[in-house]
Structure 1
Amino acid sequence: MPSTSDGEILARGLVKTYTPRGSAPVRALDGLDLSVAPGTVLGLLGPNGAGKSTTVKILTTLARPDAGRAVVAGNDVARRPDAVRRAIGVVAQRSGVDPVATGRENLVLQARLHGLSGRDARARADALLERFLLTEAAGRRADTYSGGMQRRLDVALGLVHRPRILFLDEPTTGLDPEARAAMWAEISRLAREEGVTVLLTTHYLEEADRLAGGGGRIAVVDRGKVVAEGTPDELKGALRGDAVHLELGPSADLREACRVVAAVPGTREVRGVGSRGVSARADDGAAAVPAVLAALQAAGAPAASVTVARPSLDDVYLRVTGRRYAAEAAEDETPAEQHHEEVAV
């Protein structure tokens, strides 16, 4: 049984299976465990289909698990869903804004639905409009807002009733870099200055790194389970040495190239990535590169390019799942035939 003293959000052994019409059952969650401390940011990192959105649906009482238990703000999500809903704010992937109402009307209506008086609702709406830089557009219909403005209004709607926990499902999808940076700053401020516990899902590595970097944590989700958890520095620090990434020429044999690189002294954890990529780890990447390039050249599999870098979250994802995160995220949005199996040595 989850202990409510451990955190604001707790999940143990969550299992959820969907059966699409005419298709085989799909297990979205497969024993997922999760814990989020009060006043912190937890980023759920993983590509589409990893189980992030299903986790959020269960924790916000929009879906029931087939097995396992979850406690949010001290309340069991299955037994006390109304109490959970009063304690949380939710910003879903799809906008909840009424497009034909103005920004202020959207906020006032949301406040009234949460029981605020007319005066308090208007005051709260004005405060949020100012915080999210929407005051000048407050009297305009929401369908005239840019994508970034609508997303800021979405987050404002989730904060109307001053929730102690805020769920953000892909909060910056579709935003331009400037709007995304502004959203990051506001999310960090909520946790740091107001003590709001934030759980967000994302498939942007930079976003997870940035938002969890100030005392928050990252949970890497793969095939319905949390496969790694920690601060960004903890996760990257667990990977000793440097990451060496090579792109092979068009005629090279990937499997043979992996074997050649693995035979070079000082290299380890060699994997093929996609159809022509090779990733390896080395204690001293700069020193290992000349030997790696020479070995590939001698084997008739020359490299077209090589990079050496300190460990990244993409390297963490590769380590715990056996796949490149960026490539897998792209696979969710591209035809299935573009997928290539990993080759591990």
Structure 2
Amino acid sequence: LQNINRYILEQIETGYLVLDENYHVVLSNPAACHLLGIEPMYAHERFSLYQSQNDLFELIRFENLENGERFQFESQQSRYNIHVQVQKLIVPHQTLTLLVLQDARKLNQQVQQLKLAALGQLSASIAHEIRNPLAAIVQANDLYLDSEPEQQQVLHQMISRQATRIDRIIQDTLNMVKNKETHPVVIQLNEFIPLFIQEDLADVADQIQFNIDVPLAIQFDEAQLRQILINLIRNAIRHNSPDSPHIQLNIHPYEHKVWIDVRDFGSGVATHDQELLFKPFFSTSIHGTGLGLYLSHSFCEANQAQLNYISQEQGACFRISCQRVTA
């Protein structure tokens, strides 16, 4: 197993450098030496970071490196711009620091490729969604001049509806671009939710049953949490059973997390549609653009939270799972 581990470390392109509390390198692999401009022979022996890579030593010796911290590093000794990730390793009698080193240029290329792929998928989805109402507008326009006045009124309404749908698709797409930066703050849910319902959902407040057992706090971007809850709650009210006077907004702790459940008592989501719920432009309603749940899901991920559909015997439940903040 030691030989296998050594072979893997020698072959991979990611550099690994383990430092003790005196900034001596206790483990390194060839990729780390290559990125830092260190002689490969150092990879097989313990050595001083000060003597081998003084630029990195000077950068970190006065810094209190935190677990999970990331930074960029450049040195005259190396031709690479290096992306460094810090991990603390707790071992008996000491704490070691693992530096994970990667070529920042290659990382940026990978990020750009992912962005281009996502942009291509989104562009194709937008084009597909706009093509349908646009075709209806073209067809109605072709029939308009040769139609009777009553038929012209029907065609006029059709063109208006489809133009409104295109505008809504464009507006929802623009909303996805907004709020790119996330600014999490501590939110006391027992205080925030009643005020939020009063400010943002006053017209449907009597249809919301809010339940919270104990005071709970999460860390979340407030504007994005408002947008998520508005979308989930209005969706729930729209799909609620006529026999049910309200939907439920239930908040309760679970282990180290907080669950925010938005539940209605309608017909729920068909099994074959559940895996498509958070895909862009998927909607079971002819009036929806299919971007609300996709955007909510993206906002949750940006705040280190999760949005999931929870099957119920009756109705639908969407759950936001967040890390709990304690005093």
Question: What TM-score, normalized by structure 2, do the two folds share?
Answer: 0.28
Q: Which has the higher contact order (CA 8 A, sep 6+)?
A: 1
Higher helix share: 2
Select the structure of larger CA radius of gyration: 2
Question: What TM-score, normalized by structure 1, do the two folds share?
Answer: 0.27
